[in-house]
Structure 1
Amino acid sequence: MTSSIPVVELVEAGFAYEDGPAVLSGVDFAVAEGRAIALLGRNGSGKTTLLGLLSGGLRCGGGALLLDGTRVTYDRKGLTRLRSTVQLVVQDPDDQLFAASVAQDVSFGPMNLGLPEEEVRLRVREALEALDIVALEDRPTHLLSYGQRKRAAIAGAVAMRPRVLIMDEPTAGLDPHGQERLLETLHRLREAGTTVVMATHDVDLALRWADEAAVLSPAGLRTGPVAELLSDDALLDAARLRRPWATAVTRLLRSHSLLGVDAEAPRTPEDLEAWVGPEVPVPRRS
């Protein structure tokens, strides 16, 4: 049974960088067990800052960070507890990879937990298998492709067996095939019980992938079901986000009485192709 207490939660959180204005103020954001959450906002809206607060890399200037309902302390004990539960994967894998080989890099976190050697090896193997990079185990990290470096960075976080995996623009820089492989990986992680929070400005990806959305705009942070939030034109305008392809298609179909109000709306071109049949060409976002 899923607990009603969020795994991790920001309550009235605020943050400002030194000698700068407030980036976030009065933010409430709860991450419930078993969800897929897309954090959306334009560049500079505070997405990366919010992820830093959730993962403990940044300390709330106001408000609090809660883990399982208990306030997080920023001493060694408190941060170890947090990082055993919540792991952040940054946008640029080169900011996260530093060891000579993939296996060494993936093993770093579990080793720092002081786990027995056999347990570390088990976790490394599980993470490499989850990311489908077992063949790269002994590969020097500097010889990996960009997509491989992304997967290796995620494997390092997965090896910590977090309940919550937080990712900053994980599909940035990946070609379409790389994006699909990453989404398949995230699907497997979710099936295994990992809660995933993904920061992105790609509204089409968010609508396709997420259960819930959290949208940052000058008015603050608004959360709710992803389809509901991404069909709110006023919110998208305030956040300077474009309309999702699927939302525009759904409105068109319903305006011509081709799709019932209660019928499930297509989220991808593939969904629409399955609905209309292969004979009808489907428009795609350029």
Structure 2
Amino acid sequence: MLEDGRIVAVKKSKIVDGGDQEVRQFINEIVIFSQIIHRNVVKLLSCCLETEISLLVYEFIANGTLSKYIHKQNEEFSLTWEMTLRVAIEVAGALAYLHSQAACPIYHRDIKSSNILLDDKYRAKVADFGTSRSVSIDQTHLTTLVHGTFGYLDPEYLQSSQFTDKSDVYSFGVVLAELLTGEKTDVRVMKDGGKEEIMKVANLAKRCLNLNGRKRPTMKEVVAELEGIQLSVNTSNHAHQNLANVAYVQPQEITEAWDVVSTSTGPCTDGGSSSCDAQPLLTVKTV
């Protein structure tokens, strides 16, 4: 906690003195963050590299990692299908921003569910930019030693050591598959999501995981598809709600309406000189 009462998160180096590689990652993270302004990227507030243990100070993200909501039992709270789609869109939007809207294109290089945080409103925040790299606009790839988390690594990158924007797309595809098939998530997806929507997201994840990077969509295209699915979900929910509102009429109101017709009497003219009691036009038997 800071003096003004704000809660922050502090990341400190694991190695005391001589941890050059880790210090370089901290410095790289600072440089990367200086180029980023996006609501779905965690904010770096301050740093200290001149002490025995290097420190980075971030905004505190209250609800922890996306991973724990996918893979660990949480009886108090679980993501709904609607929230899952929103989180996927927010992460995809942050990556699309890094790839094509930041001052220079940025490759995250370590997208995974444990590097995606959820704030107090369960909005996604992409974190951990220690291995990220910015590239010039005319560059199509980055040749580096293979680094990342196995299971999320692009197979092409593993073979060639060439990291591209489509390598981040592959990692995102793994996260999307986790959101659909995680132990805790799977039950909720089948309960809340429509079959057509689930299949669309599953097919998108499959395309992101194509072994041929050129056949994977860009993150911009991923965002557009997910937003289209989200729109169809919202439209469908709105339509169902309207149908429910129209269909819900109190049985008592129906009975009363028919009673007015079935028991009323009115004038029966005979040359305008007399009137007589009218018989009900319709007899209604209420059940």
Q: TM-score range by the shorter chain?
A: under 0.3
Larger radius of gyration: 2
Structure 2 length as normaliser, TM-score?
A: 0.27
Higher relative contact order (CA 8 A, sep 6+): 1
Looking at secondary structure, tell me which structure has more strand per residue: 1
